[in-house]
Amino acid sequence: MGPKMIHASKPILLVTTCAFALAACTSLDGDPRPKTTEGAVIGGIIGGILGVNRPGNKANNVIIGTAIGAAVGGLIGQELDRQAEALRASIGNGDVSIVNTGSELVVTLPESITFDTGSAVLRTSLRSDLVALANNLNEFSNTTVDIIGHTDNVGAAGFNQQLSAQRADAVFATLNSSGVDASRMRAFGRGEDEPKASNLSEDGRAQNRRVEIIIRPIQ
């Protein structure tokens, strides 16, 4: 009998996927870009999984899928880096949080700068920041936008749900009137269901009263 052929198992191939993804997004001096790296890893893993499930030589499929996925994910990460940098430069309000997760941008507008307590009428002082956000969304147009209202747990849950939805709608309307295509955006409320901090303290409740704008690249 001839020597037995050793076939790579799917777990081993997926580990290889991660290694290729990391290698694909590391610069020549070994210093990976902070969010481009994450985008490439995510893309590489997805590409590798797709490669495993394609007919033909599994190992080759994984390598090819990983390389393609890492390249696409890395490009997405680079674009998010650029968009986040441009957005931070155009919004002059330190209370607006802009977080790049590597696969999406999360822009958080706290209630303290957006609405009076119990109101869904946007403060006029926020308009310039929303116009800057709209201009950024129009510049980086290959994205979708989810606008999500959140509240604390003070008061009736039904009222909080309605208020969160109305606040999301108000941000949607302002972005739309500033030129962002309505077909790219969705607005909805989560009420008190998704707190980011404990509702047991005033500081925690203040963090929970917010509108989040989730910006995702179209792949």
Domain borders along the chain are 10-84, 91-217
Structure confidence at residue 208 (pLDDT): 98
Structure confidence at residue 216 (pLDDT): 97
pLDDT in tens, 71-99: 455 678 889 999 999 999 999 899 999 99
Structure confidence at residue 63 (pLDDT): 59
Mean pLDDT of 207-211: 98
Predicted confidence band of residue 118 (pLDDT cuts 50, 70, 90)? very high
Please name the residues in contact with 8: beta carbons below 8 A apart, sequence gap of 6 or more: 16, 58, 59
pLDDT in tens, 16-70: 444 444 444 443 333 334 554 555 455 556 555 655 566 666 555 555 555 554 4
Helix axes 58-90, 34-52, angle to 10 degrees: 150
Structure confidence at residue 33 (pLDDT): 41
Residue 217, pLDDT > 90, answer yes
Helix axes 10-24, 58-90, angle to 10 degrees: 40
Mean pLDDT of 159-184: 98
Residues 74 and 24: beta-carbon distance below 8 Å:
yes
Interatomic CA distance for residues 153 and 155, integer angstroms: 6
Interatomic CA distance for residues 15 and 208, integer angstroms: 38
Residue 206, pLDDT > 60, answer yes
| Among 35, 45, 42, residue whose Cα is nearest residue 78 | 35
Please state, for a pLDDT cut of 70, what percent of the chain lies above it. 66
Answer positive or negative: Cα dihedral of 169, 170, 175, 177.
positive
Residues 64 and 50: beta-carbon distance below 8 Å:
no
Residue 2, pLDDT > 90, answer no
Structure confidence at residue 92 (pLDDT): 83
| Average pLDDT, rounded, for the chain | 81
For the record, the structure tokens of 91 come out as 């919004």
- The pTM score is 0.70
Structure confidence at residue 57 (pLDDT): 64
Architecture per CATH, domain 91-217, reads as: 2-Layer Sandwich (3.30)
Structure confidence at residue 176 (pLDDT): 98
